Amino acid sequence: MYYCSICICSLAWPPRNECDDAAADPDNKIAATPCGHVFHDFCIRKWMSNQCGDDGGNRDQDQSNCPYCRKEFRTLNQIFLSTDESSLGSSGADGKLGGSDKGRSWNVTNLMAKLRLREGELNSLRDSNTNVSMRCSKLMQGLQSCQRKLNYQLQVTGSFAAENSRLKQLVKATAHERDHLQNQVKMVTLRNQKLLAELSEQENKFGKTRKNKNLSPGVTPTPPKFKVAKMRPALSHYPTSNDRSARCYPSEIAIGRVSGSSPAAMNNLYPEVEALPSTVLRPNIQPALFGNFSCNQPYNL
């Protein structure tokens, strides 16, 4: 007895409780694939339509795989069987044959058909598993590549973070140094302003000393703290000559006049004293005294 590998029911006479779809076919058509496997025509065509739906409509409607050996086919061959229903024996609700030997043979055949069907499904699952494994391998390679890129980016980011921290410290130190230099500039500016103010005050205070028009261009004015004693070493005594007494006497009078006077008066006298020779004479009959100073005697400071 032959069975359909799809519904695991008899090809000659499928009971309704085993294959209602095949029993609904009044002609009980049987179809065979080019590879030689036989199925109910209704079952194999339903199998083909399900395969087209599983492939998303991409498969050709005339192309399918054998449910048993998974070989591709495009055409089906019609087969007509003639059987004697009396030779089948009585069958119960579970589809078993009446006789014990025939029942065991039917069970073995039924189990073998189911086994072949499960083997076909297993082969299909293995193929799918192989495809999935290949896809997983490619995805794993892509994941590893992304992981390497991520590690590199993390290293670059870490180096950038360290450089950024170093630059922040450098900017902070530079800002501190800038503030320090700005404070120094302010202090120097204030000091210069103070010195300029003092210089302006001194120039205003002693500017009147430059109004003397008789001052020679090459003569440098005497500083404000001019001392009369600085001019006295230029005065000494000649015991015999009297030709320069006229120059000595007015100078002594001028020295006596400016003693204790303002620095401006002393500056006016300074060029006259510098013009005197290293020693001057006075007549013995008319000594001119200036404190403890005498033109008739040498004067030592």
CA-CA-CA-CA dihedral for 53, 59, 62, 63, to nearest 10: -110
CB contact at 8 A, 237 and 295:
yes
pLDDT digits 0-9 by tens, 52-78: 665 544 455 567 888 888 888 888 888
Q: What is the pLDDT of residues 146-157, one digit of tens each?
A: 999 999 999 998
Tens of pLDDT along 68-106?
A: 888 888 888 887 765 544 444 444 444 444 445 665 677
pLDDT at site 146 = 93
Pair 29, 40: CB distance under 8 Å: yes
> Model-level pTM?
0.28
Q: Check if the beta carbon of residue 98 is closer than 8 Å to that of residue 91.
A: yes
pLDDT in tens, 202-223: 878 776 555 554 444 555 555 4
The residue-averaged pLDDT of 35-40 equals 83
- For residue 183, the surrounding DSSP H or E stretch is helix 100-206
